[in-house]
Amino acid sequence: MRIRRVGLLGDLHTGSAFAPWPAGAELSCGGTHQPNVGQSYLNERMGEIAAALPPLDVIVFTGDLIDGQMPKDRGRYLVEIDPQFQARAAYELVRPIAQRATVVYVLEGTEYHDSDGSMWMEWLARELGAVAKDQHVAWDWLLADMFGLKWDLAHKQSIMIRYKSTAMEREMQFSSMLSETADVIVRSHAHFYGFVQLATDGIVQTSVSTPAWKMQGHYERTSLSPNRLYSSKLGMVVLEVEDGNVIPRPFLFPHPPLRRSVYVTA
């Protein structure tokens, strides 16, 4: 049996000043945004990964591809507040990666970022030629039978500062409550890469948490306690399936160095 490959990319957060933004992409005000130094770094890494990816049988974009209007922050730290234009920019970013795959799926993210009903994910998914679910193209929850394995894919999972694999194991336990236990569970949202395999009663389950593309921003720096939501690695993951075995092939790169404040003399 030949190796099958499933690509996983999520939490792009296009529109944020801390996330990728394609140079020359049109803004709703009629101008263009010149990517800052961090965005330029992310753009370069995305181009490198797109060029390095092997052919994929499936690519799944796992939600929060745009940052939305950030109402709690009143749009602070956005380079573009219109979700439609964020989605257009996200399309330009992910299209080269989607073109590496035979089949494309798009998952809904959180309502806070992708908006109610994930309307702009619907648009993006259609533009990418993604597989539809009934009359929708962005999936809230994808249960798929692929390459002899049962897959359980969704955006949300618990966020834990410590013992991060515990949240992933919890997703395995929730899956085991279904009539058919999934072999592979994929979650995003927590902005960290994790890969866990467990064997229980002879059944092997694989749980994957996908990394983000968004750098540490104001929320991550100040939420809960400084830097505890900092992700040292960004990027995407490819899962290779051969003879029922799941092998991770992460495409990761370092988070840029943080700008730390200098102690001042009082």
Give the pLDDT score at 171: 86
User: Which two three-digit tokens encode residue 13?
Assistant: 């957060």
Identify which has the larger pLDDT, 219 or 15: 15
Rounded CA separation 168/133 (Å): 26
Rounded CA separation 100/55 (Å): 5
pLDDT digits (tens, 9 = 90+) for 197-207: 988 777 889 99
pLDDT digits (tens, 9 = 90+) for 112-153: 898 777 888 999 999 999 999 888 999 999 999 999 999 999
User: Which two three-digit tokens encode residue 55?
Assistant: 């052919």
pLDDT digits (tens, 9 = 90+) for 168-186: 888 888 877 777 789 999 9
Domain ranges of the chain: 4-141+215-254
Average pLDDT over the chain, rounded to an integer: 91
Query: Rg for the chain (alpha carbons), in Å?
Result: 18
Q: Does position 263 have pLDDT exceeding 80, yes or no?
A: no
User: Which two three-digit tokens encode residue 202?
Assistant: 């002879």
Q: In sequence order, what are the beta bridge partners of 61?
A: 9, 106
User: Which two three-digit tokens encode residue 5?
Assistant: 């490959």
Give the pLDDT score at 119: 87
pTM for this one? Answer: 0.94
Rounded CA separation 237/243 (Å): 19
Rounded CA separation 222/224 (Å): 6
Give the pLDDT score at 72: 85
Tell me phi and psi for residue 46, to 5 degrees. Answer: -65, -40
- Count of beta carbons in the 10 Å neighbourhood of residue 223: 12
User: Which two three-digit tokens encode residue 70?
Assistant: 């950030």
Give the pLDDT score at 79: 96
Contact between 238 and 56 (Cβ < 8 Å)? yes
Q: What b-and-e string marks burial along 121-146, b requiring 16 or more CB atoms within 10 Å of the CB? A: bbbbbebbebeeeeeebbbeebebeb
| 31-53: average pLDDT | 96
Q: Does position 260 have pLDDT exceeding 70, yes or no?
A: no
Rounded CA separation 8/241 (Å): 14
Identify which has the larger pLDDT, 164 or 53: 53
Q: How many helices (H) and strands (E) does the chain have?
A: 6, 11
Spelled out in words, what is the top-level CATH class assigned to the domain 4-141+215-254? alpha beta
Starting at the earlier edge strand, list the strands of the sheet with 233-242.
138-139, 101-107, 56-61, 4-9, 233-242, 245-254
Distance of CA 138 to the CA centre of its chain: 14
Contact between 211 and 234 (Cβ < 8 Å)? yes
Give the pLDDT score at 66: 97
Give the pLDDT score at 181: 86
